[in-house]
Structure 1
């Protein structure tokens, strides 16, 4: 359990303020600038801070865009074009926001995969893990509603298809869809609702991020070896060692971000969204943004009903089953601390687990590809196989590995492997 550090500022003015409003001490204890940190953290630990930086980029660019955007179906598309053409550096801010969403998801996906590999969900970090998943869900909701705002063809039809999924829920489904739409079709009330929530949710995300960092402080930071800190030799100060490391990682990450921003700003988007929304013309293929594609593939992979054998009685129709599978793909992650009962946290000491982890990564890449293809030919079959393995990994493979896998011996301390590697 982390200790609370009572450090007083050396500056007299800061010390005076700290006595009356201990903000500096609170930030220092939550963020941990002056606190000891495991000495073996690698660059995979950078992506948490990178995700936080991308959240700041999204909030600031979003606030500026909101000053010029018009949430009306008759003017939304033109207002986006005006931002691109007439607002000073509007093209830069709009591209920064659009590509920033993709890079935010890239940082978060890598952050989640790092947590899966190094067992960051295991005790005592269960709440930390679940708060991270809450952030992920809020991100997905925010990104979906933001994708609707340009009111292009893919915006309109994406909103129509995704919101219609809720109609599959028995009894209350149609009421939920009507509430989301604000009427009986995707129209101006829908756009106003989505704009309002898209503006609000990033600040909710920021609040949950603070809780996430606080939970990280309380439960201590994990490390690649997955063992607890045993002595002061296992730790080094966060500053300057990890602040410099984070700064270098951020420089590389933002250099790649700038490459997309200035040289290929539309590479991660869909060209149909530069066509004004037309309810009478359906696009040839309706696909969400790339970061939704794995879950979209899971949704579309379910094409069969569940019913009573040898009868025509349907218990769960394919549409509802697909919606359940899509949401279950994320909800299953909340139960991961109890599905994986292995006492060893890190994948470095779990040989079989490493193989299945990379199978999962490959499976997610395949599902991403399948989600971007038309549901015809061999792709639905590949999607169904990928969906089956995804759930089998968490519900079957991990529980079995916890019982039968022979793990490697753990080092006595964090310092020993680090010192040996340096010799």
Structure 2
């Protein structure tokens, strides 16, 4: 990637960790891309990684001897982990297995890669790769939360087909996307160092094991915003409702289903962020009672008693140390009027109003139009592709954020 005719990866020292998993074969292409860009690449493999790709292969593409042993008498009197920790400008572990993530979260230092990850002062980035059930397991999510709290970044995982035959979140982000994200990492952006937490997509409120109350949100706008924030240099976490969208490169994603699950994940992560964007279409109500078994069609009528969900956006804005908070208002009429009332009532910094169910875009479409409102100002963003619209929106959010928190 070229930025201003200067290759941002030229002479950068990238330490690439490779752990055990079928995705290890993708690391070969990532090394090739990095070397072609002018980066220096040192590969460190775990024992499990060598079961999927040989050290000789990675040595051939990196031009450096692959390091594997914690105690190597050929490097700084067997203190190779300190030597490598000092050498690296960035440490990227791709793929990062569930086992490696667990070891890192618990501070184990029983192999060269985990030891140097503890010893380095360089940014540490993980590209997870594992079975979708392993990724969604409570233990893995806990470990990920621990690492994120410590400042470790997660790029991925991606959503899609897996080698085991299952489909879901857990694929390693593709080498080209990881390469692009490393370029973004070393380039300066207006939100460099800023932490962003977003919500996207719908929620599903179960009625019984088969049926649920939901809405038509596709999540496309929220995912486009996540990509735009990453491009602006931000560290991005995304809490996603049930959608079938690929995780943007450089984004740490958490999947939830219900409004209460989304609320809990947001509250778990919001103290770590500088900007919060509530783009998800969160259900206002949920069934008070969820049936254990499928409800049979025995009666002409059925009543479902609904109770109100907590307002996530208002809850975040009311925190004693609230982040810069941006909301969305999807309306079928008078969007600016209703959005401004919401902005004032919820005491948020900005709100994006859009008209749904009309020719101007909205749910389940690739285009949208927005009106941004804040205290004392507003700006109309006309109908455009959601990717382009997201870039314009991030520019406006950046301006208002910098106005509130000047450097």
Q: Same fold (TM over 0.5)?
A: no
Normalising by the smaller structure, the TM-score range is: under 0.3
**More strand as a share of residues:** 2
Say which structure, 1 or 2, has more relative contact order (CA 8 Å, 6+ apart). 1
TM-score (normalised: structure 2): 0.27
